[in-house]
Amino acid sequence: MMCLFIASEKLHQSLKALQYHTRICIPEFFVSWIYYTIQAITRIRETMLNSTSILSYGLQTLLLRRQMPLLASFKVTYHCNLRCTGCPYHRRAREPGAKMSWQQALEVLSRLERLGCRIVIFEGGEPLLWTDGNHDFSDLAEKARTMFLKVGVTTNGTISLDVPTDLLWVSLDGARDQHNRSRDISFDRALQHIKSSTHRCIYIHYTVNRENIDDIPVLAGVLASEANIRGITFQFFYPYNQGELDLALRPAEREQAVRTILKLKRSGKLPVLNSSASLKRMIKNTWRCRSWTLANVDPDGSLWTGCYLQQRGEIRCRHCGFTPVAEASLALGLHPGALLAGRRIFFAN
């Protein structure tokens, strides 16, 4: 890289010397053009070799057509302190490989880094419960932050939120009564931890389902005055059919939910971080899925790229509710709204 820079400097000097000694008229703009072109190539190459840069990711995927995962869904454990009615994962807590070891976690993080992944989001189960020997979740998050551009976690909020991640989502699926019915009477604990947390970037994550569709504006009203909340993201319930309640939205209900979310987004009462473009396309799932933007990790150490459901359940694309994949897919298609949404979520702080 330095060789290119030195070469551009020497070429610039040589052209100047040639012009002086031979009296050949070399237009100044031509000399400058060569000089600045080589410098630009140098900077582009430096960016592409930067393993964590988001610009590097864009250049490699769009220009070089490399299919690299952007974001990893990292399930570190199936263990959970709640028994949410719509979740299939706590039901797997007694299976072999239901919790990852520290050494496994390090190995998987290294594999994700080699794949070119830029963002890691820890999930569960309840990831903040994870421990292995002398290591706890904070140790895991701190290690991940030395390897990736951004590190986040999605939690049920019943444990202290003061963990060393860049981003943190608290799952709230409705106002108090509705949330407590589906999420094991946990609303007040989650809200208290949000209020008392010193974490700098807390978002709310709302999974819209048949029972909580009418609570979207109600919860927004409750949370609007909470200074610690930076915004809310929405996704739509997916029917795994693995023992959880069937809470999937019917087509008309999904359209109603999207209209309600878009109205909330326009109101500005609580920042809705999903782009309008991705939300509209989720009504009938009319978006080109670039599933390779997602890497997936399960607690037994298995890792794959592609659909979130590939080793977790039956894939039925028309029922897809995974808005992060829709957002990333649109962003890779250079949709302005999706690009802005990604910037607001991951790089605003």
- 329 and 289 Cβ atoms separated by less than 8 Å: yes
The pLDDT assigned to 58 comes to: 86
CA distance 179 to 38: 58
CA distance 140 to 163: 10
Q: Which residues contact 200 (CB under 8 A, 6 or more apart)?
A: 349
Q: Which residue has the higher pLDDT, 20 or 286?
A: 286
- 62 and 332 Cβ atoms separated by less than 8 Å: yes
Comparing C-alpha atoms, which of 87, 156, 74 is closest to residue 117? 74
The pLDDT assigned to 4 comes to: 40
- 278 and 338 Cβ atoms separated by less than 8 Å: yes
Comparing C-alpha atoms, which of 131, 129, 126, 130 is closest to residue 87? 126
The pLDDT assigned to 311 comes to: 87
Report strand pairing: 294-297 vs 71-75: parallel
Tokens of 166: 């860049």
The pLDDT assigned to 233 comes to: 98
Burial classification of residue 246, based on how many CB atoms lie within 10 Å of its CB (0-12 exposed, 13-18 middle, 19 or more buried): exposed
Mean pLDDT, rounded, for 187-196: 98
Mind listing the pLDDT tens digit for each residue in 297-344? 999 999 999 999 998 989 999 999 999 999 999 999 999 999 999 999
The pLDDT assigned to 2 comes to: 41
Report strand pairing: 119-123 vs 135-136: unpaired
Mind listing the pLDDT tens digit for each residue in 56-105? 888 889 888 899 999 999 999 999 999 999 999 999 999 999 999 999 99
Q: Which residue has the tokens 């390090």?
A: 106
What class is the 69-347 domain? alpha beta
Q: Which residues contact 46 (CB under 8 A, 6 or more apart)?
A: 1
- pTM, two decimal places: 0.85
The pLDDT assigned to 346 comes to: 94
Q: Which residue has the higher pLDDT, 12 or 172?
A: 172
Q: At what angle do helices 216-223 and 251-267 cross, to 10 degrees?
A: 30
The pLDDT assigned to 14 comes to: 62
Q: What band does 156 get if pLDDT is binned at 50, 70 and 90? A: very high
Q: To the nearest whole percent, how much of the chain has pLDDT over 70?
A: 85
Q: At what angle do helices 2-22 and 28-49 cross, to 10 degrees?
A: 170
What's at 239, amino acid-wise? Answer: P
Q: What band does 18 get if pLDDT is binned at 50, 70 and 90? A: low
CA distance 236 to 315: 15
Q: Which residue has the tokens 């589906």?
A: 182
pLDDT reading at 203 higher than 80: yes
The pLDDT assigned to 90 comes to: 92
Mean pLDDT, rounded, for 180-195: 97
How many CB atoms are closer than 10 A to CB 268? 9
- Min mean pLDDT across 23-27, 63-67, 171-175, 222-226 is at 23-27
Mind listing the pLDDT tens digit for each residue in 263-294? 999 999 999 999 999 999 999 999 999 999 99
The pLDDT assigned to 151 comes to: 98
